[in-house]
Amino acid sequence: MKHPAPVLEALARRYEQRLAGRTGEFSRDVLVDVEDLLRDAGAAEGDSRAVAEQELREAEQAGILKLEPLHKRDRASLHQVRFSPANESGLFDFLGRSSPKLVRDALAKQFADAAAHELLARWRDGWKAWCERMRTAALAGKSVEPFDRHPSPDNAKLLALLPRLLAWEGESLVRFASCVLCGDSKTLESLAAPDRDGEFRDKLRGKLGRLLEEITSGQICVLDDVGILPNPRFALIHGPIKLRLGGEWLDLGRLQGAFRLAEADIVRAESVVTAAQRCLTVENETSFHELAKLQSGTLLIQTSYPGSGTLKMLQRLPAELEFWHFGDSDDAGFDILRVLREKSGRDFRPLQMQSGRIPFEQESLGRPNLMCWPFYG
């Protein structure tokens, strides 16, 4: 049964933050200044102080802790609380809650139990080894991120989800997969929210990607790798381009408007040719469609951080093309330019992008002009 003892709760919180409380490893007692402890408990003055001091004395009589006076001959003047980690269970039993050791044991059991989940043969050994590493870390009080440090229901759900992700077959959009695997359409996106801008901005990584990478030794790094996609894999294009499919030419340059070309069709095309002199990638879709209206003969591809469909398209284009990127003049815009260069292998040059330009948005340049390259005077 829990005893209402704020000063002992304050002692327990301090102990949980110490190395002994976090890991169970200790070589000496924990010493806490009484005045600091009383302030933590909100009992530094008046009647609350008298009650708190009495609680400390009762805990000493119960063998939970020792009180050290300011002067040996003045037992009424309390100076420090000496708490031995060996009395951990006594303190937490008195407070009616699980001790740090019991919490670590229960957390470790979550990972040990998860090792019994059925997995595809190719991932089975990696899964068991990962579960054992996490179990050992939990027992030692080490980091188990992104899991909670206590055996929560969220931990159990995530541990049950990971094997099912590794067994996913085929390609599906993330919200459909989330309904199938989690019972609602939003869970996977929240668990796989990107950690940062950059190369994973348009990918599903987050905590799920990090965990899958650990379990599979880097063979799976994002949900895309198991066929769970944030968006369909395609390239948004406008301009003179032909694909040879099944021995016949498909002239997409005859289309007035922009079109979406599936990655699967880009890959299976026997040949890809263009009459354009240059390829221009455009960060913002609004600017892309304004440029497409001009029917300029430039091959336009809309992309921010490039997805796999866009990259496949860029890699199929003739190497002798000029490659330009028109993006916002901010940190993200220049980072997109960097990623385009690195991932496509093409020597992209910036179009109308100037460091420090305000406002940053490419739309601020106004309407493009057909009469001049690079479209803006």
In the chain, DSSP assigns E strands to 30-33, 66-71, 74-83, 172-173, 228-229, 234-238, 242-245, 248-251, 259-262, 271-273, 278-282, 299-302, 322-326, 349-350
> What are the residues facing 153 on neighbouring strands?
none
What pLDDT was estimated at residue 111?
98
pTM score: 0.66
- Written as six digits, the tokens of 81 are 């609380």
Q: With bands split at pLDDT 50, 70 and 90, how would you rate the model's confidence at 358?
A: low
- In 3D space, the residue among 159, 157, 154, 165 whose CA is nearest the CA of residue 134 turns out to be 159
User: To the nearest whole number, what is the mean pLDDT of the chain?
Assistant: 90
pLDDT of residue 196: 45
Residue 74 has what pLDDT?
62
Angstrom distance (rounded) from CA 338 to CA 199: 10
Residues 268-280 pLDDT 10s: 999 999 999 999 9
CA dihedral 111, 117, 121, 127 (to 10 degrees): -10
pLDDT in tens, 58-105: 999 999 999 998 776 666 678 999 999 999 999 999 999 999 999 999
- Phi, psi (deg, nearest 5) at residue 229: -110, 145
Q: Where are the chain's structural domains?
A: 6-97, 102-229, 234-365
Q: Which tens digits make up the pLDDT trace of 247-258?
A: 999 999 999 999
Give per-residue pLDDT as tens, 210-246: 999 999 999 998 888 999 988 778 999 999 999 999 9
Asked if the model's pLDDT at residue 195 lies above 60, the reply is no
pLDDT band of 4, cuts 50, 70, 90: low
As beta bridge partners, residue 322 has 278
Domains 6-97 and 234-365 share a fold: no
Residue 177 confidence (pLDDT) above 70: yes
Residue 306: is its pLDDT beyond 60?
Answer: yes
Q: How confident is the model at residue 3 (pLDDT cuts 50, 70, 90)?
A: low
* Domain 234-365 of CATH type 3.30.70.20: no
Q: What is the pLDDT of residue 204?
A: 58
Output the CA–CA distances (angstroms, integers) from residue 46 to 8, 33, 42, 68, 341, in the order listed: 18, 19, 11, 21, 69
CA distance 245 to 313: 15
202 pLDDT exceeds 60? Answer: no
What is the pLDDT at residue 255? 96
Output DSSP code: residue 350.
E
The CATH classification number of 6-97 equals 1.10.10
Which of 232, 228, 179, 170 lies closest to 204 in space, CA to CA? 228
